[in-house]
């Protein structure tokens, strides 16, 4: 044994690293509302797991019911006929097609991790981004379909918390609830940013305020803090979307169910990839489902084994997961208020820091900047080791141009996305990154 090999680093996998990913609660609110609204279910969209269009039959709300005591049931009456509304499942959220190489598993010092263990770890690392994508798409639907206030205005400002001291305005949430009550709707689900978070935090901690009100009796039920919802509006303000949970219905559909699922249907149980590899001895595939432990929904997943190709021509798996879904709006039910549909938009005041006793000047928020580096290196260049900022790695790749260099930096840079512009490699961020390649070539990004 050479001393060089004796000093190779030991390694260990952290397969549950992605457990620390943030939770996006707009999706959770809509999924929770779906469990309350039983007018439509996934089974209404298919027969024997074959997806179909769905027709909802209903009697519309009668807005003019006034008659007279002189009316007679022997005379012709006002005909009340059912109406229909057609629904389709048209939304699809899909991941990229990912690849798990046989050679990568062979070369990993992983303490006995199987092929399926590696696939589960890879999927765990990508699911947070998929949850964020699904949440953004559901937010966009909710914002795009928001109706009017009862007075016809597009939005209304409410004040639930004094942001400088956390004092709760007991009537703030009631303003939202009153709007729904006056429209004949059920108590709303409320999704918002800082204002909602402040309300939840303050009421959970509160007892009596300075005027003797027992704010501990205030409820934070059916309130969902989502720090990303303001981004959907993109105007820098604080926004709240409230909706009657019975006027919406989120439906997710599994294509890989029943007769359309393979014998190996899930990588959540057993060693599915290992069974596929050992059984197929060639091309084979899995059509199954993947349970999202955070959202509680089933993603369709398809995995295919390729006997040839990949690193060192040892074979590889490709896989992708998808969710077919849609959100349906029940027939509107407010009389003489066209445009009111049970989804309402509210705004609130932005948070304000209380001044320090001696006064202070808050520094301005940093602005994301484009940083560039002109790689004055001779291609082709084999990169055995790289230090990118504080991240050390061993890429062991050959780069032949700036695009390869940017891809290597992105792959090993700890989440930073590098691109090529002209003769420079760039990224957008808040600080300049320095590092080195192969322990001898230093680089530095600059504004």
**Other CB atoms closer than 10 Å to residue 269's CB: what's the count?**
11
Listed by start position, the domains of the chain span: 14-59+81-354, 369-444
Q: Which of 215-224, 330-339, 356-365 has the highest mean pLDDT?
A: 215-224
Q: What are phi and psi of 416, to 5 degrees?
A: -85, 140
Task: Compare 217 and 250 and report the one with higher pLDDT.
Answer: 250
3-state secondary structure 51-111: ECCEEEEECCCCCCCCCCCCCCCCCCCCCCCCEEEEECCCEEEECCCEEEEHHHHHHCCCC
The stretch 365-389 carries a mean pLDDT of: 90
| β-bridge mates for residue 162, sequence order | 167
pLDDT in tens, 61-110: 787 888 889 989 899 988 888 888 888 888 999 999 998 888 887 776 66
pLDDT in tens, 160-178: 887 666 678 878 899 999 9
- CA nearest neighbour of 237 among 158, 322, 171: 158
Across the chain, what does the average pLDDT equal? 82
CA 130 to chain centre: 6
């Amino acid at each position: 044994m050479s001393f060089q090999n004796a000093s190779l680093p030991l390694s260990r996998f952290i397969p549950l690293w992605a457990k620390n990913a943030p939770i996006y609660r707009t999706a959770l609110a809509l999924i929770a509302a779906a469990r309350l609204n039983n007018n439509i279910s996934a089974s209404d969209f298919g027969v024997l797991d074959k997806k179909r269009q769905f027709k909802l039959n209903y009697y519309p709300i009668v807005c003019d019911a006034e008659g007279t005591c002189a009316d007679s049931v022997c005379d012709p009456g006002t005909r009340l006929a059912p109406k229909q509304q057609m629904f389709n499942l048209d939304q699809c959220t899909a991941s990229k097609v990912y690849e798990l190489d046989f050679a990568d598993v062979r070369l990993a010092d992983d303490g006995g991790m199987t092929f399926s263990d590696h696939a589960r770890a890879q999927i765990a690392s990508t699911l947070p981004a998929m949850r964020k994508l699904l949440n953004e798409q559901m937010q966009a639907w909710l914002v795009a379909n928001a109706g009017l206030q009862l007075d016809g205005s597009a939005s209304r400002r409410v004040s639930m918390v004094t942001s400088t001291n956390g004092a709760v305005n007991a009537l703030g949430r009631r303003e939202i609830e009153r709007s729904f009550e006056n429209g004949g709707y059920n108590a709303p689900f409320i999704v918002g940013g800082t204002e909602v978070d402040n309300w939840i935090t303050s009421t959970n901690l509160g007892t009596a305020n300075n005027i003797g009100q027992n704010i501990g009796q205030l409820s934070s039920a059916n309130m969902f803090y989502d720090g990303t919802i303001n981004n959907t509006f993109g105007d820098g303000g604080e926004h709240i979307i409230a909706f009657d949970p019975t006027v919406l219905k989120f439906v997710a559909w599994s294509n890989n169910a029943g007769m359309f699922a393979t014998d190996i249907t899930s990588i959540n149980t057993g060693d599915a990839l290992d069974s596929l590899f050992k059984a197929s001895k060639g091309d084979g595939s899995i059509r199954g489902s993947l349970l999202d432990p955070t959202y509680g929904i089933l993603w369709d997943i398809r995995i295919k084994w390729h006997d040839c190709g990949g690193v060192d021509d040892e074979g590889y798996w490709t896989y992708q997961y998808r969710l077919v879904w849609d959100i349906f709006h029940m027939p509107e039910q407010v009389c003489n208020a066209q445009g009111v549909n049970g989804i309402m938009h509210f705004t609130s005041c932005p948070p304000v820091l209380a001044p320090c006793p001696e006064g202070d000047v808050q520094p301005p928020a940093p602005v994301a900047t484009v940083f560039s580096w002109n790689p004055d290196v001779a291609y082709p260049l084999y990169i055995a080791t790289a230090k990118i900022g504080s991240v050390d790695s061993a890429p062991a790749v050959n780069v032949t141009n700036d695009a390869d260099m940017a891809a290597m930096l992105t792959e090993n840079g700890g989440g930073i996305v590098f691109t090529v512009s002209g003769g420079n490699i760039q990224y957008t961020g808040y600080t300049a990154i320095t590092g080195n390649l192969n322990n001898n070539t230093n680089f530095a990004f600059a504004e």
